[in-house]
C-alpha cells in the first residue's frame, strides 16, 4: 500500500535537502550574486558586468556571418542595453535550443528630458518614473544617479554618482507629519503624484548676480565634471536608483536585501550557469533583456527582432521556425513570495514560499489569466523530470489570490514564437520596492535549475 509520502504533494524546504557541502556552495554563490547586483544598478551596467564576466570565461563577441562550431562561446551586445550569450552545442540548432530569458531593467525614477530647474533657491530634477512603483516608497531615501548623456557631436559620457562611499547622493522630499493633515487623509495611491517626485540636487548659489543662481552653479559643476551643457539632457538617459548596499538580512544571513533583485537575481542565475558550460549537447542561449518592466517593448526588449536575428544566425541554414518549434525556454523571472505580514493577498496552498526553491509559475496574467502564457501540462511535466534528475528543489507558484491582481513576464513573447516556455524564478518579498528581499537558498536553486536546462539533451 502506498503511504502518505507517496500519495501527497508538498514542496520542500531547501535546507532539509541540502547537505553541509551544498549549503557552503549556496552561500558562496550568494556572494557572487551580491557582487553582480551591486555592480549592476541599471541595465547598461548589468550588460557591462555580464560581458566582463563572460569575457573572463572565454566568450567572444558575435560576428555576423561567422561559422560557429560546438563549444564556441559568443555574446551579442544589443546597443549596450540587452545581451544574448550562447554556447554552441553538439547538435544542430534545427534540433532545438535551450533558452533562458531574464530581464535586467528594474523599476526606478528616470529624469525627464528637460529636468533641471530652480525653485525658491533649491535646484531640482523633474522625473518620470519607470515601471510599476508605489510612489511613496521613493521619497526620503538616498538616491544614486546612473546613465548616459549624449552630446550634440555624438560623443557621450557615462554617469555614476552616489555608488562609491563618500560620493554625494540625492533625495526626493516628503512632508513633515506636523503639516501632513491633508496628505494623510489621501489614499496611498493619491498621496503622491508623479509630478511631485522631484529630486533635490543642490542649493548653493553662484556668486554672480542674476536669475537661477543655484541652477547656474549646478550647471557649472556638471560642465566641469561631465563636459555637458543643459541642452545635452535632451539626449540623455539618466536614472535615479536607491542608494542602498546589497546586504545579508537576518541573524542567520539566509536572506539578501538589495535594489533590483527583480530580475537580476534570475539574470545572474542564467549567466552563472551558461558561463560554466563547455560543450553542451544542445546549443544554450542566455537572454538578458531590457524593458520588461514597461512591456518588453523597443529595440532592446524581448519583443524586438534583434532576438530573432540572433537566433537565426545560430541556425546555420536551418529554418528559424524549425528551430523555435523544437526549442525550450525558461522565462526566468521572479515571483511573489508568501509574506506573513500580508497573508490576505495570497492563497497559501499555491503561493511560493521563501526557502522552498525555484518557483515555477504555470501561468501569469490577471482577471481569469488574461494575457498569460499558460504553459501546457506537458511542459510542466518536462520541468519536473528535468529538475528531479538534477536535484533542483522547486515549487509550483501563483502570484496571488484569484482577482487580487496580476502581472506578466517575457514568457508570452517567446511562447508566441512557438517556443515551449514556462516561468521559473526566485520568490521575492517586497517586489518592486526600493529594497527587495530574496532567500539565498532560492537564488541558488534557480541557478541549479538554469544549469539543468542547459544540460538538457
Measured from the CB atom, the residue of 49 and 333 that comes closer to Mn ion is 333
Q: Does 436 bind Mn ion (CB under 5 A)?
A: no
| Closest alpha carbon to 236 in 157, 299, 298 | 157
Q: CA 198 from chain center: how many Å?
A: 25
Q: Which of 45, 262, 442, 455 forms a contact with Mn ion (CB under 5 A)? A: 262
Cβ 276 to Mn ion shortest distance, Å: 24
Q: Which helix (H) or strand (E) holds 411?
A: helix 411-415
How far apart CA 3 and CA 10 sit, in angstroms, is 14
Part in contact with Mn ion (CB under 5 A); list of ranges 14-22, 225-233, 256-264, 303-311: 256-264
* Beta strands at 255-258 and 247-249: parallel, antiparallel or unpaired: antiparallel
Q: Which residue is nearest to Mn ion (CB)?
A: 263
Using the rule CB under 5 A, which residue among 45, 263, 436, 455 binds Mn ion? 263
CB of 301 to Mn ion, least distance (A): 13
Closest distance of CB 442 from Mn ion, Å: 15
Stretch that binds Mn ion, among 68-76, 133-141, 156-164, 260-268 (CB under 5 A): 260-268
Distance in Å, CB of 431 to Mn ion, minimum: 6
Nearest to 404 by CA among 369, 360, 366, 432: 366
| Look-up of cell digits 557621450 | 156
Q: How far apart are CA 169 and CA 110, in angstroms?
A: 15
Q: Is 377 helix (H, G, I), strand (E, B) or coil?
A: helix
Verify binding: residue 49, Mn ion, rule CB under 5 A.
no
104-116 burial code (b ≥16 CB/10 A, e <16): bbbbbbbbbeebb
Residue 315 Cβ vs Mn ion, minimum distance, rounded to whole Å:
28
**77 vs 263 by CB, closer to Mn ion:** 263
Of 144 and 333, the one with the shorter C-beta distance to Mn ion is 333
CB of 433 to Mn ion, least distance (A): 11
Minimum CB distance to Mn ion smaller for 282 or for 291: 291
Residues that contact Mn ion, how many (by CB under 5 A): 3
The beta-carbon contacts of 156-162 under 8 Å, at least 24 apart in sequence, are 157/226, 157/227, 157/228, 158/44, 159/226, 159/238, 160/41, 160/45, 162/243
Write out the three cell numbers for 280: 553542451
Least Å from the CB of residue 103 to Mn ion: 6
121 or 295: CB nearest Mn ion: 295
Q: How far is the CB of 106 from Mn ion (least distance, A)?
A: 7
When the beta carbons of 262 and 455 are compared against Mn ion, the nearer one is: 262
Distance CA 228, CA 208 (A): 20
With CA atoms as reference, report the closest residue to 128 among 216, 238, 50, 35.
238
Site for Mn ion contains 333 (CB under 5 A)? yes
| Binding residues for Mn ion (CB under 5 A) | 262-263, 333
Amino acid at each position: 500500500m502506498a503511504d502518505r509520502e507517496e500519495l501527497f504533494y508538498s514542496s520542500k524546504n531547501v535546507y532539509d535537502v541540502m547537505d553541509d557541502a551544498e549549503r557552503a556552495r549556496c552561500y558562496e554563490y550568494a556572494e557572487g550574486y551580491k557582487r553582480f547586483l551591486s555592480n549592476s544598478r541599471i541595465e547598461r551596467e548589468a550588460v557591462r558586468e555580464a560581458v566582463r564576466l563572460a569575457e573572463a570565461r572565454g566568450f567572444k563577441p558575435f560576428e555576423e556571418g561567422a561559422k560557429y562550431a560546438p563549444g564556441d562561446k559568443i555574446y551579442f551586445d544589443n546597443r549596450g542595453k540587452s545581451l544574448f550569450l550562447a554556447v554552441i552545442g553538439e547538435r544542430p540548432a534545427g534540433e532545438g535550443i535551450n533558452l533562458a530569458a531574464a530581464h535586467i531593467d528594474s523599476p526606478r525614477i528616470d529624469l525627464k528630458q528637460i529636468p533641471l530647474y530652480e525653485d525658491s533657491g533649491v535646484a531640482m530634477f523633474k522625473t518620470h518614473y519607470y515601471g510599476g512603483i508605489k510612489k511613496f516608497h521613493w521619497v526620503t531615501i538616498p538616491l544614486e544617479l546612473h546613465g548616459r548623456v549624449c552630446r550634440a557631436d555624438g560623443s557621450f559620457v557615462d554617469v555614476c554618482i552616489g555608488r562609491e562611499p563618500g560620493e554625494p547622493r540625492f533625495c526626493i522630499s516628503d512632508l513633515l507629519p506636523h503639516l501632513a493633515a491633508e496628505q494623510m487623509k489621501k489614499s496611498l495611491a493619491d498621496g503622491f503624484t508623479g509630478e511631485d517626485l522631484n529630486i533635490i540636487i543642490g542649493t548653493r548659489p553662484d556668486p554672480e548676480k542674476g536669475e537661477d543662481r543655484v541652477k547656474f552653479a549646478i550647471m557649472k559643476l556638471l560642465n566641469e565634471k561631465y563636459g555637458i551643457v543643459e541642452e545635452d539632457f535632451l539626449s540623455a538617459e539618466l536614472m535615479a536608483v536607491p542608494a542602498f548596499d546589497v546586504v545579508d538580512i537576518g541573524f542567520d544571513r539566509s536572506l539578501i536585501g538589495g535594489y533590483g533583485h527583480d530580475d537580476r537575481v534570475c539574470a545572474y542565475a542564467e549567466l552563472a550557469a551558461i558561463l560554466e558550460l563547455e560543450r553542451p549537447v544542445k546549443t544554450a542561449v542566455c537572454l538578458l533583456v531590457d524593458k520588461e518592466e514597461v512591456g518588453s517593448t523597443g529595440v532592446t526588449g524581448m519583443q524586438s527582432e534583434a532576438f530573432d536575428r540572433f537566433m537565426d544566425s545560430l541556425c546555420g541554414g536551418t529554418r528559424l521556425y524549425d528551430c523555435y518549434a523544437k526549442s525550450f525556454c525558461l522565462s526566468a523571472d521572479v515571483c511573489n513570495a508568501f509574506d506573513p505580514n500580508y497573508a490576505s493577498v495570497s492563497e497559501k496552498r499555491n503561493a511560493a514560499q521563501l526557502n522552498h526553491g525555484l518557483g515555477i509559475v504555470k501561468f501569469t496574467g490577471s482577471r481569469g489569466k488574461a494575457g498569460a502564457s499558460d504553459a501546457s501540462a506537458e511542459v510542466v511535466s518536462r520541468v519536473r523530470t528535468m529538475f528531479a534528475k538534477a536535484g533542483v528543489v522547486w515549487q509550483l507558484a501563483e502570484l496571488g489570490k484569484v482577482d487580487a491582481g496580476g502581472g506578466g513576464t517575457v514568457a508570452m513573447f517567446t511562447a508566441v514564437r512557438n517556443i515551449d516556455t514556462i516561468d521559473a524564478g526566485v520568490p521575492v518579498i517586497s517586489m518592486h520596492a526600493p529594497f527587495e528581499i530574496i532567500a539565498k537558498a532560492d537564488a541558488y536553486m534557480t541557478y541549479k535549475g538554469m544549469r539543468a536546462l542547459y544540460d538538457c539533451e
